[in-house]
Amino acid sequence: MSTATDLVILELPFKAPFDWPRILRFFNGRATPGVEAVEDGAYRRAIDWAGDSGTLTVRPHSRKRCLVATIEGPAGQHAEALSAPIARMFDLHADPKAIAAHFASDPWLWPLIEAAPGLRVPGAWSAFELVVRAIVGQQVSVKAATTIIGRLVQRAGLRIEDHPHERTAWRFPTPAALAAADMAQIGMPGKRVAALQGFAAAVASGAVPLDSQAVDTAALRAALLALPGIGPWTVEYVAMRAWRDADAWPAWDLVLMQSIAARDPALLRPTQQRVRTDAWRPWRAYAAMHLWNEVADRAGAARGG
């Protein structure tokens, strides 16, 4: 770790291979306008930690097997604590060789792993942000969801004064702010607005401690499923990306269902697909990423996940 005035640089190692272009593509396709951005081959976002704000920029090291995380602003004084969430976000603890070995005899997955051997499961800076995105994205395109999320940030978030990076100059709304925001003409059906604000209120009250340091995923899965407008897909998606459950599987994801049915037309629904997908345990989240990635590669877009 090296430091300068209001600037801290961390080097965070990973086990090779590491597919930086694809993880960056994934984040770019889902970046929250005003809060996070992909530019100049790097990921950047506004962050808050223990009451201090700053800007996080992550890019690969030019020579070493590590990512370089630069923290600008007062949040840099928490660099030691920040290394863990950054590592989770970029899946730096994954062992790609062990995962590949598990799928080596699988005729469906092995060709995908050969095509993208360093594919990671992209994490999330905040489980709260991820669930907001998932609710907003229900039954709309990725592009439409991004537009609505941008409106939410401007209505309920806070602009960071004198911020050096214009594309990341907003703080994502807090649960309390989002629960109380005026959502008129936001571009979502009333029922989805109610689900979103009900979820935000549950997090604000502490009833659903999404981003607590000690995550009891079984209890949080149940708490989320009990909320109106949140189904199994959202819960498994959050488990994959925010809670780092390597075996999470969003069984009702349309792209995954179609990918499996294309390989075996007898397997149309998750109930029929389960025996096949159970063979991918305990790495089903990586199987999901490879199937999504195949579609994204083919479409040249951010579809899937």
pLDDT tens, position by position, 259-303? 999 999 999 999 999 999 999 999 999 999 999 999 999 987 555
Q: What is the CATH number of domain 95-120+246-305?
A: 1.10.1670.40
Q: What is the DSSP string of 238-296?
A: HHHHTS--TT---TT-HHHHHHHHHH-TT--SHHHHHHHHHTTTT-HHHHHHHHHHHHH
CATH 3.40.50.720 fits 2-93, yes or no: no
pLDDT at 275: 94
Q: Are 234 and 267 in contact (CB under 8 A)?
A: no
pLDDT tens, position by position, 128-167? 999 999 999 988 888 899 999 999 999 999 998 888 898 9
- Please determine, for residue 5, whether its predicted confidence score (pLDDT) is greater than 70: no
Q: How confident is the model at residue 30 (pLDDT cuts 50, 70, 90)?
A: very high
- Please determine, for residue 3, whether its predicted confidence score (pLDDT) is greater than 60: no
- Please determine, for residue 214, whether its predicted confidence score (pLDDT) is greater than 90: no
> Which amino acid would we find at residue 297?
D
Give me the catalytic one of 253, 264, 278, 297.
253
Domains in the chain: boundaries? 2-93, 95-120+246-305, 127-241
Q: Is 297 a catalytic residue?
A: no
pLDDT tens, position by position, 53-82? 899 999 999 999 999 999 999 999 999 999
pTM of the full structure: 0.93
CATH topology of domain 127-241: Endonuclease III; domain 1 (1.10.340)
Q: Assess whether the region 95-120+246-305 and the region 127-241 belong to the same CATH fold.
A: no
pLDDT at 302: 55
The tally of CA atoms less than 13 A away on the side-chain side of residue 249 is 20
